[in-house]
Amino acid sequence: MSGGKATKVEESFQRVLGFKKMVDRWQNSHTHCVWQTTLGQRRNLCAALRTQDARGQELALADKQLLMVSSRKGDLKPHPHCPAESAGVPSSSLLPVLAQCICL
pLDDT at position 4 is 82
Q: Tell me: the pLDDT tens digits for 36-65?
A: 766 666 677 787 788 888 888 888 888 887
The H-or-E segment that residue 64 falls in is helix 45-72
Q: Please, what sign has the CA dihedral across residues 92, 97, 99, 101?
A: negative
Residue 53 and residue 58: Cα distance in Å, rounded? Answer: 9
Question: What would the pLDDT profile of 6-47 be if each residue is shown by its tens digit?
Answer: 888 888 898 888 888 888 888 888 888 777 766 666 677 787
Statement: the pTM of the whole predicted model exceeds 0.75: no
Query: pLDDT category, 83, cuts 50, 70, 90?
Result: very low
